[in-house]
């Protein structure tokens, strides 16, 4: 289990970079950022998987294709677009308040999964997590900018709630699917997931480009298409390539390892590492340390996660051993899993 916790921590460290790139690329829209990141992710995943792509593709069944499609949409593209819309319409504070409840929602939704700790034992750690999230968002509200119209805020709150539900559902469905399908290594599933996300992002990007081109021509009339503002596309693709490699390729693979090795109730708490590293990167970017409420939030979040980890690591009550066919194998090296995939018992979703 401790290896899963370490992988979750490292994934959070890489995912925290996601909050820095939009600050560096203010001239680009959330749609452009999402398409750029996930097209780069898909290209890298294709290259990594190319030596085994033909063999692996032959083993996929319709349920695998359906899982890849829904995970690419819910876990990446739709989630990011809803999150960006929430920030634009309602602001950072209410959006982060809603999306910051991810650990609590994932824990509650996964309370009946195998290996889950009873919620009554997690009540106090979850309380610390909730207090930490509250501190972060109170600080954000105190330092917020100008107020927005009520209608805009309401629509933004709906978008943020949609983002929360998207990623919560993805986290649970992905963890359960990996545990039901041990024939896929974490590296293989991450690469397939990246290819699916990249393909969908490419289609969305082409559609958006065609729409923008047509709109410019119609709006410009006889004078020709309107000139696009000058933007640094070299910086755009450099940042998105680094983000795709670190946060998507490596980060998602680490998260898949963590998802296999820890109960869902604990994986929900591990998501908080993303928040902590995002705060750290934000302090470095701003050039000063945390304010009082931010420091209190960090202490509360670390205490809550540590407490939850200790509860999950406590010895469980003795129970009868499960039949061999029902046991879930540990995650192994991709090459080793390829050798045993043919003998693995397949559970259909």
| Per-residue pLDDT at 1 | 76
Element (H, E) at 58: helix 53-59
Is the confidence at residue 238, as pLDDT, over 50?
yes
| Per-residue pLDDT at 40 | 92
Residue appearing with tokens 């006889």: 222
| CB atoms near residue 298 (< 10 Å) | 19
| pTM value surpassing 0.75 | no
| Per-residue pLDDT at 27 | 82
Is the confidence at residue 147, as pLDDT, over 50?
yes
Say how far apart CA 270 and CA 267 lie, in whole Å: 5
3-state SS, residue 348: coil
Say how far apart CA 223 and CA 206 lie, in whole Å: 25
Is the confidence at residue 234, as pLDDT, over 90?
yes
3-state SS, residue 185: coil
DSSP string, 90-144: H-HHHHHHHHTTHHHHHHHHTTTSTTPPPHHHHHHHHHHHHHHHHHHHHHHHHT-
3-state SS, residue 105: helix
Say how far apart CA 260 and CA 328 lie, in whole Å: 9
Contact 308, 125 (CB under 8 A): yes
| Domain segments of the chain as ranges | 2-207+233-314
Say how far apart CA 275 and CA 102 lie, in whole Å: 11
Confidence of residue 219 (pLDDT cuts 50, 70, 90): low
**Cβ-based burial of 275 (10 A; exposed 0-12, middle 13-18, buried ≥19):** buried
Residues 6+ apart with CB under 8 A from 35: 201, 202, 204, 205, 208
Task: Give the chain's length.
Answer: 349
Contact 272, 10 (CB under 8 A): no
3-state SS, residue 300: helix
Across the chain, mean pLDDT equals: 76
Is the confidence at residue 178, as pLDDT, over 90?
no
Contact 41, 197 (CB under 8 A): yes
CA-based nearest residue to 110, from 1, 260, 268, 261: 268
pLDDT tens for each residue of 303-315:
887 787 677 666 5
Q: Look up residue 19 and give its two tokens.
A: 């909050």
- Comparing 5 with 337, the larger pLDDT belongs to 5
Contact 25, 287 (CB under 8 A): no
Here the contacts of 221-226 (C-beta below 8 Å, separation 24 or greater) are: none
């Amino acid at each position: 289990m401790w290896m899963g916790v370490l992988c979750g921590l490292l994934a959070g460290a890489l995912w925290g970079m996601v909050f820095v790139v939009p600050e560096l690329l203010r001239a680009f829209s959330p749609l452009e950022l999402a398409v750029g990141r996930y097209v780069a992710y898909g290209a890298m995943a294709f290259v990594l998987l190319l030596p085994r792509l033909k063999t692996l593709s032959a083993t996929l069944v319709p349920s695998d294709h359906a899982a890849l499609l829904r995970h690419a949409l819910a876990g990446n593209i739709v989630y990011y677009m809803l999150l960006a819309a929430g920030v634009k319409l309602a602001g950072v504070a209410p959006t982060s308040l809603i999306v910051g409840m991810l650990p609590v929602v994932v824990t509650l939704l996964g309370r009946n999964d195998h290996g889950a700790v009873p919620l009554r034992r997690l009540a106090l750690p979850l309380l610390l997590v909730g207090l930490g999230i509250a501190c972060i968002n109170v600080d954000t509200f105190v330092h917020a900018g100008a107020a927005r119209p009520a209608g805009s805020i309401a629509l933004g709150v709906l978008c943020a709630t949609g983002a929360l539900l998207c990623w919560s559902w993805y986290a649970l469905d992905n963890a359960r699917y990996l545990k039901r399908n041990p024939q896929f290594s974490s590296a293989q599933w991450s690469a397939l997931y990246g290819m699916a996300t990249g393909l969908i992002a490419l289609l969305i990007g082409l559609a958006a480009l065609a729409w923008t081109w047509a709109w410019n021509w119609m709006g410009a009339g006889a004078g020709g298409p309107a000139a696009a503002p000058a933007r640094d596309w070299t910086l755009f693709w450099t940042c998105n390539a680094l983000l795709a490699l670190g946060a998507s390729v490596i980060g998602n693979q680490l998260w898949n390892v963590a998802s296999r090795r820890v109960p869902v109730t604990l994986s929900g708490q591990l998501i908080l590492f993303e928040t902590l590293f995002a705060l750290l990167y934000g302090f470095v970017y701003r050039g000063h340390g945390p304010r009082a409420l931010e420091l209190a939030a960090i202490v509360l979040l670390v205490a809550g996660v540590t407490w939850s980890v200790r509860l999950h690591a406590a010895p469980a009550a003795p129970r009868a051993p499960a039949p061999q066919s029902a046991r879930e194998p540990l995650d192994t090296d991709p090459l080793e899993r390829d050798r045993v995939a043919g003998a693995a018992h397949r559970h259909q979703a």
